[in-house]
């Protein structure tokens, strides 16, 4: 279906799906300050072609989902995890394969610990245990950026994206197009770029990672400047029978196109 806004967890969440409802659901949870635009259309279509009902959505304070005043988010990361479950409920889906990246991986870990019956499999990307104490991948202070100015905002988003990326990522024009699309879809870019990093943390779950029963795949770039590879290895140790696959040359980023064949195959095999 095309993008639609659904009531979930007391707010409105913008969602888009790919594939057939009869196929196993696969929920993509983006990183902090990222709308669903960063899960690229072709990436989603290729997952759907592999027989998955792919769901991507705008976090609260991103895209067309409910937006709160910049600098004063009245919610926690627990609420953000509950958003994902509320969205599945709104779609009539009880269980899903869950793929989370960066902050999305933190939300995915929380769901797997607290609501294991909702999780078929877990795939964690650019992740650490509760983000390894690294502020969930939050960038440096953004106070100087005028997020109302499209050119300024897009320039900043592209620069931040490239600064976190590895040597395999070099197409600035490609990221500019995604950033422009995200800006044009977003209610308040200042809220997007601020509020997730100010959201209250939920109850700590790191001590409960050993309770995760969902088969877990960890995909981690060798050039991640925010979460060192040691963080991914900690996840592998702490989640029972987790499997870690390193992605050479990948940074803290959505999978660059050059590794899509590998990443898509790994996800489809893991969720088979």
- Write out pLDDT tens, residues 180-206: 999 999 999 999 999 999 999 989 999
- At 132 the pLDDT is 43
Q: In the sheet where 11-18 sits, what is the strand order?
A: 4-8, 11-18, 53-57, 25-29, 96-101, 119-125, 216-221, 243-247
Q: How far, in Å, are 23, 90, 93, 117 from residue 102 at the CA level?
A: 26, 24, 24, 23
- At 134 the pLDDT is 41
- At 130 the pLDDT is 67
Selection from 126, 103, 125 nearest residue 197 by Cα: 103
Look at the alpha carbons of 177, 178, 179, 185 in this order and tell me if their dihedral is positive or negative.
positive
**DSSP reduced 3-state for 4:** strand
pLDDT < 70: residue spans in the chain: 1, 130-143
pTM for the whole thing?
0.96
- At 140 the pLDDT is 45
8 Å CB contact between 62 and 183: no
Q: Express each pLDDT in 222-261 by its tens digit.
A: 999 999 999 999 999 999 999 999 999 999 999 999 999 9
Q: Report the alpha-carbon distance of residue 178 to residue 90 in Å, rounded.
A: 27
- At 143 the pLDDT is 63
Q: What is the CATH code of the structural domain delimited by 4-270? A: 3.40.50.1820
Q: Which two tokens stand for residue 218?
A: 């960890």
């Amino acid at each position: 279906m095309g993008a639609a806004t659904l009531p979930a967890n007391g707010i409105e969440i913008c969602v888009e799906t790919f594939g057939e409802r009869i196929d196993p659901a696969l929920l993509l949870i983006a990183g902090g300050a990222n709308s669903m635009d960063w899960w690229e259309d072709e990436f989603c279509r290729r997952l759907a072609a592999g027989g998955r009902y792919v769901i991507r959505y705008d976090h609260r304070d991103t895209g067309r989902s409910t937006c709160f005043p910049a600098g004063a988010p009245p919610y926690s990361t627990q609420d953000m995890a509950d958003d994902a479950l509320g969205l599945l409920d709104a779609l009539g889906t009880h269980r899903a394969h869950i793929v989370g990246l960066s902050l999305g991986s933190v939300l995915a870990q929380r769901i797997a610990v607290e609501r294991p019956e909702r999780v078929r499999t877990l795939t964690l990307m650019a992740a650490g245990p509760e983000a390894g104490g690294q502020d969930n991948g939050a960038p440096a202070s953004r106070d100087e950026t005028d997020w109302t100015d499209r050119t300024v905002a897009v320039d900043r988003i592209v620069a931040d994206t490239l600064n976190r990326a590895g040597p395999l990522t070099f197409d600035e024009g490609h990221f500019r197009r995604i950033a422009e699309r995200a800006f044009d879809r977003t209610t308040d870019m200042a809220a997007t770029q601020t509020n997730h990093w100010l959201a209250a943390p939920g109850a700590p779950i790191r001590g409960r990672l050993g309770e995760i029963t969902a088969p877990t795949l960890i995909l981690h770039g060798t050039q991640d400047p925010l979460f060192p590879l040691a963080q991914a290895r900690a996840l592998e140790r702490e989640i029972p029978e987790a499997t870690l696959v390193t992605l050479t040359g990948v940074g803290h980023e959505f999978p660059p196109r050059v590794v899509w064949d590998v990443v898509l195959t790994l996800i489809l095999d893991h969720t088979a």
